[in-house]
Amino acid sequence: MRFSRPALRRFASALFVTVAAVMIGAPATYAKTVNVYSARQEALIKPILDTFTEETGIEVNLITGDDDALLTRLRSEGRNSPADVLLTVDAGRLYRAKEAGLLQPIRSEYLEQHIPAHLRNSEGYWFGLSVRARVIAYATDRVDPETLSTYEALTDEKWRGRLCVRSSGNIYNQSLVAGMLSTQGEAATEDWIKGLVANFARPPQGGDRDQIKALATGQCDLALVNTYYYGAMLQSADADEKAAAGEVALFFPNQDGRGTHINVSGAGVTTSATNVAEATALIEFLARPEAQNWYAETNNEYPASKGIEPSALLKSWGSFKADSVDVTELGRLNAQAVMAMDRANWK
Amino acid sequence: MLLTACLIAVPVLVIVASLFQGFSPVWQHLLETVLQDYVVNSLLLMLGVGVGTLVLGVSAAWLTAMCEFPGRKLFNWALLLPMAMPAYIIAYTYTGMLDFSGPVQSALRAQFGWGHGDYYFPEIRSLGGAICMLSLVLYPYVYLLVRVAFSEQSTAVLEASRSLGKGPWKTLFLVGLPMARPAIVAGISLALMETLADFGTVDYFGVSVFTTGIFRTWYGLGELQTAAQLAAFLLLFVFVLFTLEQYSRRRLRFHHNSAQQKPSRIELQGWRGWCACALPLVIVTAGFALPAVQLATWASSRVGETDTAEFLTLVGSSFTLAAIASVCCLVIALLLGYGKRLHPGQLEHQAARVSSMGYAIPGTVIAVGVLIPFAWMDNRVDALMREHFDISTGLLLSGTLVALVFAYVVRFLAVSLQTVESGLARIRPSIDESARSLGKGPLQVLHRIHLPMLRGSLATALLLVFVDVLKELPTTLILRPFNFNTLAVRTYELASDERLADAALPALAIVLIGLLPVILMTRISSAATPYSSVRTQSQEGRP
């Protein structure tokens, strides 16, 4: 590889321009902007933000990252933080952000009317925007759905060595346990975790898709998974994934009782926000039918806004009764849930 | 020099300072339940990766530096390829291949009519699996450093050993390896620090180690301070480990004593040659070719859906960042390494040590260590300006590339410093003395003598940091400016959503860009005549 001098010089100047542009920041082409810190990853938020910009003329600047890391950044940046909106994929982190004084309450008639009370903060600090259900997936050739009923019943001896779940480090498992703590109390929850661990087919590993694959290959018969992973596998371009999902079906537990466990992804306006009006407009936009349907179509999530139908695929799994426990509780009890799982040796 | 070291040590010190802020009741819980698991698994993981990288790295280095066999020139640089493979990516690809539902086990079951539980197959998602994955991508640290050391070793010493009746194996163990000790130690410590900082692989495999514990405490329990304290203990452990190692070789000297000599390699002909060729072939296949093919297969199904312009922007920003950061690291490493050589005092020594501890800490924790002082400073400046001039300066450095590059230096300085130091250690101090006595200043000595002699080590340092930054994820994720993406960020976001096929293309791009400096470096090192010379290991104070 030999480079001629002019070519090298051109390359160097191109690099310099790139660096300079990034360091100084590209010139703003929009009069109004809103800055977003998002724990929802780029592929699952950027397209709808682009639509927002097209429709309103408000430019959106975006950083994505892990929830707690973004919270730490927000906190250390303090009142000078450029962030206007915080987007998370878990109610627990919104709760944490509010407790740390990082969010401010906003009034929005639209949001108050359309987002159900148990999916938002009562004082307007944050609003749930999409719903994720954690359900039981089962291998259709080995499990009769008649034998399934509740999360609690998964500890039954007949499931010994037949259950697959990912690690307790995963937030969805933590919030499932937090939900349990909130409704069943500490002692019952710990017994439940112990029973669950006793029924594990293998040490917790992999992600939700891996649990579904394990069902298809016969390593286990039941698994706890989030619905949208199953949906993504059904629609996957990978033939093996699609085939694996084809051998699995979903069961919504606790329909006769408290309902299936759900968590939300949501958003709030930061304390340091300088573009409060734009931030509010963005959150309202994300709760409108267009965005709500987009969540459902691209990531198989259930809409949070009232009166919006889930996508055709979601509907085909049947409607379900969701746990109406205030999702704030999930945040408040998260640490307690992790400790309970530590004690019960859920790896 | 001290000032620079202190500046770079700030984030590490921020983390260590957490130890003085009181212990929360969560500690009681950790001690009672999971801490023991974290410690034991981390130690086992370190032991496994230490042995793995030692065996793979040293044997590959010995073969390519000291022997002549078919394909040697190719393997010389091909053995570096696995370095460009992020550990969590290789973990994903191998899981895809070797998992129960993967093609290998499925084929076995179809062939023999087995079902679940009818046969034994090693579980890839386990501690052992994590050791294999990490060893496969981390051995190049050992290989690179040790190969430079071997090729600068003189054949005279080795021939002396041979002529005294020792066979090639004994020569390797009695002469070659002991003389290469600083390089071996430097390589393994880099590999081990990276192991301790790794989160992606162990998390995916469900192995509870110290790193997963740190994140569990922070994210799950919401205890950032306790998490920082855990990280601080990790640091102390690493610090003690390295201090012990340094102490054990405090009296040894490894520089060479006589003039240049072209190394002659042992000719391996016939079946021996092919055997010698087989080892690097297996390593490169397992560490690079297989996972790369798997990635390419996944990526090929997605090529049409990729936005080319956006993809090129990603490539451009990743390349630029990696280039800037690797040059910064190199300059600072030279400053610290050379400063230590000029003033070999305890203070300078410890300063260099502490400032390079960042490598053993998970990137996100380092990011917090950078975030806090930067934001604090920015906010102070802002408050001052508001008070006196009624101007708000906002955040000057936080959230800019300056903070990000600084974080990279903090995190990867160890890599360039270790490399530069092990290079400097091989240059006889008497050379400096002669030059100085001829009236040259320290900078001139550096420029006219050390830099040319260090060419190989410097290129190595640049390359290692470049590739590391290219792969770097957690720090970039949290410190980057608005709307700024890199290949690693893109790869991770897709992979963490379990969309491996979509993640394959950016992952492959990381690997391919990582190849550029590897090729460049091979050209540099083949253009420069190696300063090989006789080196003996003399022990001071021996009668």
Residues of chain A with Cβ-Cβ distance to B496 below 8 Å are 41
Neighbouring-strand partners of residue A85? A36, A269
For B331, half-sphere exposure in the C-beta direction (CA atoms, 13 angstrom radius) is 7
Contact A181, A333 (CB under 8 A): yes
Residue A25: pLDDT above 60?
no
With a CB cutoff of 8 Å and minimum separation 6, the contacts of A183 are A258, A323, A325
Residues 55-74 of A with CB under 8 A from B: 61-70, 72-73
Residues of chain B with Cβ-Cβ distance to A211 below 8 Å are none
Q: Among B47, B69, B61, which Cα is nearest to B130's?
A: B47
The conformation of residue B175, written as its DSSP 8-state character, comes to I
Please answer yes or no on whether B478 and A70 come within 8 Å at the CB atom.
yes
Q: From CA B175, how far away is CA B170, in angstroms rounded?
A: 8
Q: Which residue from A minimizes the CA distance to B383? A: A80
Contact B44, B127 (CB under 8 A): yes
Q: From CA B51, how far away is CA B188, in angstroms rounded?
A: 9
Please answer yes or no on whether A22 and B401 come within 8 Å at the CB atom.
yes
Q: Among B406, B419, B381, which Cα is nearest to B324's?
A: B406
Q: Is B116 exposed, middle or buried (0-12, 13-18, 19+ CB in 10 A)?
A: middle
**What pLDDT digit, counting tens, does each position of A307-325 carry?**
888 888 999 998 899 998 8
Helix (H, G, I), strand (E, B) or coil at A331: helix
Here the tokens at position B208 are: 């509870």
Closest Cα in chain B, distance from residue A319 (Å): 25
Q: Is A43 exposed, middle or buried (0-12, 13-18, 19+ CB in 10 A)?
A: middle
Contact B54, B195 (CB under 8 A): no
Residue A51: the pLDDT is: 95
A18, A171, A240 ranked by CB distance to B320: nearest:
A18
Closest Cα in chain A, distance from residue B283 (Å): 26
Per the rule left: phi > 0, alpha: psi between -120 and 50, beta: everything else, B117 is: left
The answer to whether A238 contacts chain B (CB < 8 Å) is yes
Residues of chain A with Cβ-Cβ distance to B375 below 8 Å are 76-78, 80
Q: From CA A309, how far away is CA B277, in angstroms rounded?
A: 63
Residue B262: the pLDDT is: 54
Helix (H, G, I), strand (E, B) or coil at B528: coil
**What are the mean pLDDT values of chain B's consecutive 10-residue runs (543 residues total)?**
82 87 87 89 95 95 86 86 86 86 85 82 90 95 86 70 75 78 87 88 87 86 87 86 75 58 69 85 92 89 75 88 93 87 78 79 83 86 83 79 91 87 81 83 81 82 88 83 87 78 86 79 56 35 34
Residues of chain B with Cβ-Cβ distance to A334 below 8 Å are 220-222
Residue A115: the pLDDT is: 95
Please answer yes or no on whether B100 and A219 come within 8 Å at the CB atom.
yes
Please answer yes or no on whether B401 and A69 come within 8 Å at the CB atom.
no
Long-range contacts of A50-53 (CB under 8 A, 24+ apart): A51/A290, A51/A291, A51/A294, A52/A282, A52/A285, A52/A286, A52/A291
**What pLDDT digit, counting tens, does each position of A268-319 carry?**
999 999 999 999 999 999 999 999 999 888 889 999 999 888 888 999 998 8
With a CB cutoff of 8 Å and minimum separation 6, the contacts of B120 are none
Contact A91, A331 (CB under 8 A): yes
B99, B218, B498 ranked by CB distance to A207: nearest:
B498
Give the pLDDT mean for A238-244.
86
Residues 134-173 of A with CB under 8 A from B: 166-167, 169, 171
pTM over 0.80: yes
For the question of an ipTM over 0.95, the answer is no
Contact A93, A121 (CB under 8 A): no
Q: Which residue from A minimizes the CA distance to B372? A: A76
The conformation of residue B172, written as its DSSP 8-state character, comes to I
Mean pLDDT in chain A?
Answer: 88
With a CB cutoff of 8 Å and minimum separation 6, the contacts of B436 are B442, B445
The conformation of residue B25, written as its DSSP 8-state character, comes to T
Q: How confident is the model at residue A20 (pLDDT cuts 50, 70, 90)?
A: low
The conformation of residue B251, written as its DSSP 8-state character, comes to T
Q: Which residue from B minimizes the CA distance to A34? A: B482
* Cβ atoms < 10 Å from Cβ of B278: 11
Quickly list DSSP for A127-158. Answer: EEEEEEEEEEEEETTT--GGG---SGGGGSGG
A44, A69, A80 ranked by CB distance to B477: nearest:
A69
